[in-house]
Amino acid sequence: MDIKPYNWLNEAHIYNKNNTRIDIEWLAENADAIVLLFTSYGVDKDGILQKFYTIYENVKFINMPIEVIYVPMDEREEDMMSCYERQANWFTLKIYDPLIQVLKHMYGVTCTPYLIVIRPDGLTVSTTGIRDLEEYGKNALITWLSNPARKTKDRKLSKETFIYGKDWKYMGADDKGKRQEYHRRFSVVEESSS
């Protein structure tokens, strides 16, 4: 008998930076790995989350099939919004979503920041996401995706503002001197010429 894990994604209400609800089917079809970021306002571990913002936006630029969902651990909505505003262009649960407590208990989250990596079917890939990033940097994402590819058809991955928010503020941030030029040349939102 094949026992399937509890897939909480079926019950999730996930939003992008534009406060638009994301279709769970889109997420399941287009991500091989989903990273759950449990954190709160003002929390980082030696700058690892700041580095993760840059890594994520740069791998999304090449359509790597990985998505991040911010799971807020804040007590106040203002703190949650300030924290999310500073994060990379990924998705979030709302602060008062009862699913947050379920996820916290389900994954044994006792401190922040905490990264859990799962597959869209609910199977856990890594419970040591922070340590993975500290040890392997951007190669941690490749490790998380190293399971055999589940997809046999083309993905619908895109950098459209409908799916994500409009601002990709960490893209190209590894080389701050060329960041504006990089953003201008590869901007998700076309600039109008006048």
The reply to whether 191 falls in a domain is no
The two structure tokens encoding residue 154? 């083309």
CATH number assigned to the domain comprising residue 88: 3.40.30.10
The reply to whether 119 falls in a domain is yes
The reply to whether 164 falls in a domain is yes
Q: How far is CA 31 from CA 24, 100, 191, in A?
A: 11, 21, 29
Q: How much is the pLDDT for 167? A: 66
The reply to whether 73 falls in a domain is yes
Structural domain including 163 reads: 8-185
Q: What is the pLDDT of residues 32-60, one digit of tens each?
A: 999 999 999 999 888 899 999 999 988 88
Taken as a whole, the chain contains a residue count of: 194
Could you give the CA distance from residue 177 to residue 175 in angstroms, rounded to a whole number?
A: 6
Could you give the CA distance from residue 172 to residue 194 in angstroms, rounded to a whole number?
A: 26
Q: What is the pLDDT of residues 154-174, one digit of tens each?
A: 444 444 545 666 666 666 655
Nearest C-alpha neighbor of 140 from the set 128, 152, 123: 128
Q: Which residue has the tokens 């060329």?
A: 178
Mean pLDDT, range 120-125, rounded to an integer: 89
pLDDT bin (cut points 50, 70, 90) of residue 3 is low
Q: What pTM value is reported for the model?
A: 0.76
Mean pLDDT, range 94-117, rounded to an integer: 94
The reply to whether 194 falls in a domain is no
The reply to whether 123 falls in a domain is yes
Return the minimum-mean-pLDDT range out of 21-35, 96-110, 144-158: 144-158
> With helix as H, strand as E and coil as C, how does 160-190 read?
CCCCCCCCCCCCCCCCHHHHHHHHHHCCCCC
Q: Evaluate the CA torsion angle 93, 165, 179, 63 in order and state its sign.
A: positive
pLDDT bin (cut points 50, 70, 90) of residue 28 is confident
Contacts of residues 160-165 at CB distance under 8 Å and 24 or more positions apart, as own/partner, are 160/188, 161/18, 161/188, 161/189, 162/20, 163/16, 163/22, 163/26, 164/16, 164/17, 164/60, 164/89, 164/90, 164/188, 165/16, 165/17, 165/18, 165/89
pLDDT bin (cut points 50, 70, 90) of residue 10 is confident
| Cα-to-chain-centroid distance, residue 186 | 21
Number of domains in the chain: 1
The two structure tokens encoding residue 46? 């030696």
The reply to whether 88 falls in a domain is yes
Mean pLDDT, range 124-131, rounded to an integer: 93
The reply to whether 190 falls in a domain is no
Nearest C-alpha neighbor of 123 from the set 15, 12, 25, 3: 3
Q: Which residue has the tokens 């006792």?
A: 110
